[in-house]
Structure formats: structure tokens, C-alpha cells
Structure 1
Amino acid sequence: MSSELQRKLDYVNAYRENRLKAAQEILENKDLFDELIAICFSPSDKNNHKACWILEFVAYEELLWLQPHLDFFCSNIKILKDESAIRPIAKVVQLLVKSHYQKAENSILLSEENLQELIEISFDWLITDVKVATKAYSIRTLYLLGNHYDWIHPELKIILEKDFGDHSAAYKAVAKEVLKKIK
């Protein structure tokens, strides 16, 4: 028997307005958040990618809701294979890393293990065949992480310079922006 959240996700489509409406329902009912996370990391669930879309919008508003789920989130990212699920999760990864290093009062606190998993998946996305948006989020995430791990910027620079000619204008724009900051 499908849950209330599953029934809602059945009606979500790619239209931004539609995704925002579904995210608003989660924001108004935090009790649905745990199930949303579970669906995000259930690749066999037909609504998996839709849950990831919604998680991205929820994360913009309530990133701290992810704090108790970080170990699960970080260790399960690698099971995602659907491009429609990976892109929004790559954005959430960027938001998490950015928040972690802001060191503000209500920032996300990532463990060293979480950070290592996020570094690994970001490099994986950068060097595998995923769409440009995922690569762009990964480049920016790795740039942020490289401000705290000495070895990341040199590795990122090598990859960006090597792959520069093989990618779209969007990839090149992000790569150029980050390479300029690294040098």
C-alpha cells in the first residue's frame, strides 16, 4: 500500500512550480521528511528521482533537517545511478559543503568521514559520464573543499585542464571560473 507521500510524488512532474508545491508540502509537514530521504536513496522506487527533486528544494529552505541523516545521505549517494536523481543531489552536496565551512551558528556539521565521501563522489561525477549540471556542481563543491584539503585544487586543476576541450560551453564557463580562482 502506498503512503501519502508516495501518492503525492505520483503527481509531481518536472515543472518547477509543481516541484516547489510538493516541497512546500514537505516543509509544512516535517514528519514526511524521513520518508522523503528514504525514497531518495531507493533507486528501485519509481518516484526516486522525484523525491530527489523535492529534497533539493527543501534543502534550500531547511538544510539543517538533513543533519541527523548525514551519515546515511553521504554513504548512500554512490548507489544513485539515474541522472534525474543525481543532479539535484549534487546540488544538495554543494549546499552541505558550503554550509559546513561557513561555521555559522546553524551550519551543517559534516564528519571527516562525510567529507571524504563527498570528495569521492564529487570526483566520481566529475570524471564519469554525467550531465554538465552535475559536473558544474561537483567542480564548485571540489573548489570549496580544496580550500581545506591541500591536494584537491591541484587534482581538480589537472582534470579541468585535461577535459576542457571535450565539454560544452556551460562546463567551460564553470571550469574557467574555478581555474581562475585556483591559480
Structure 2
Amino acid sequence: MSSELQLKLDYVKAYRENRLNCAQEILENPSLFDELVSICFSPQDKNNHKACWILEFVSYEKLDWLQPHLDFLFSNLKILKDDSSIRPVAKVVQLLVKSHYKKGENNISLSEENLQDCIEASFDWLINDVKVATKAYSIRTLYVLGKHYDWIHPELKVILDKDYGDHSAAYKAVAREVLKKIK
């Protein structure tokens, strides 16, 4: 028998409003969040990509809900293979990394292992055949990480310079923006 969350995800469509409504239901029922995270990293689940869409929207409001799930999330980034799952998770990773390095209170605390998993996944997404939005999130995530790991910016620059001519206008815009900041 399907859970309450699975039944909700069955009805989620790609429309933004539809995804927002489901995310709002999760925000109003935090007890569903653990299962949502679990479904996100269960590629065999038919609602895997939908759960990832919802996780992205919930993360905009309650990024801190991910704190107890960080080891699980980062260690499982590499199991995601579907572009529809990877794109929203890449955005969540970007939000987590930005929060980790942001000055102030209520920041996300990432372990060194989390950061290493993030670096590996971000470079993998950048050099492999995934959609441009995922690559853009990865570029921005690696840019932030490169401020704290001195080897990242030179590697990122090499990849961006090499791949620049082979990509879309959206990729080129992000690459230009980050290359300007690196130099």
C-alpha cells in the first residue's frame, strides 16, 4: 500500500504551481520530510524525480530541515542518474554550500566529507552529459567552494575554457560570469 506522501507525489505534475502546492503540504506536515528525502535517493522509485522537485522547493523555505540528512544526501549524490532528479538536487547542493559559507547564524554545517562528496559530484555533473541547468548550478557551487579550496578554481577554469564553445548560450553566460570572478 502506498504511503500518504507517495499518493501525493502520484498527482504531482511538472507545472510550477503544482510542485509548489505539494511542497506547501510538506511544509505544513514536517513528518513527511524524512520520507521525501528517502524517495529522492531511491532512483528505482517511480516518484523519485517528483520528490526531488519538491525537495528543491521545500529547501528554499526550510533548508535547515536537511541538517540531519546531510551525510545521507551527500554520500548518495552519485546514485542519481536521471536529469529530472539531478537538476533539483544540484540546486539544493548549491543552497547548502552557500549557507555553509555564509556569515551569520542558522547556517548549515557541512562536514569535510560532505564537502568532498559535493566537490566530486559537482565536477562529475560539470563534465558529464547532463542538462545545462545542472551544469550551471555545479559551476556556481564549485566557484563558492574554490574560495576555500585553492585547487578548485584552476581546475574549474580549465574545464570552462575547454568546453565553452560546445555549449548553449545559458552555459556560456554562467561560464563568463564565473570566469570573470576567478581571474
| TM-score range for the pair, normalised by the shorter chain length | over 0.9
User: Over aligned residue pairs, what C-alpha RMSD do you find?
Assistant: 0.4
Amino acid corresponding to residue 79 of structure 1 in structure 2:
I
- TM-score w.r.t. structure 2 length? 0.99
**What SS does the aligned partner of 1:20 have?**
helix
Q: What percentage of aligned pairs have identical amino acids?
A: 83
Amino acid corresponding to residue 68 of structure 1 in structure 2:
P
- TM-score w.r.t. structure 1 length? 0.99
Matches within 5 A, 1:63-82: 63-82=63-82
In structure 1, runs of 5+ residues without a counterpart are: none
In structure 2, runs of 5+ residues without a counterpart are: none
1:40 is matched with 40
Matches within 5 A, 1:16-165: 16-165=16-165
> Deviation per CA, 1:66-102, whole angstroms, max 9, x where unpaired?
0000000000011000100000000000000000000
> Deviation per CA, 1:14-71, whole angstroms, max 9, x where unpaired?
0000000000000000000000000000000000000000000000000000000000
Amino acid corresponding to residue 95 of structure 1 in structure 2:
L
- Give distance in 1, aligned partners of 2:96 and 2:104: 13
- Give distance in 1, aligned partners of 2:10 and 2:2: 10
Amino acid corresponding to residue 133 of structure 1 in structure 2:
A
> Deviation per CA, 1:107-166, whole angstroms, max 9, x where unpaired?
000000000000000000000000000000000000000000000000000000000000
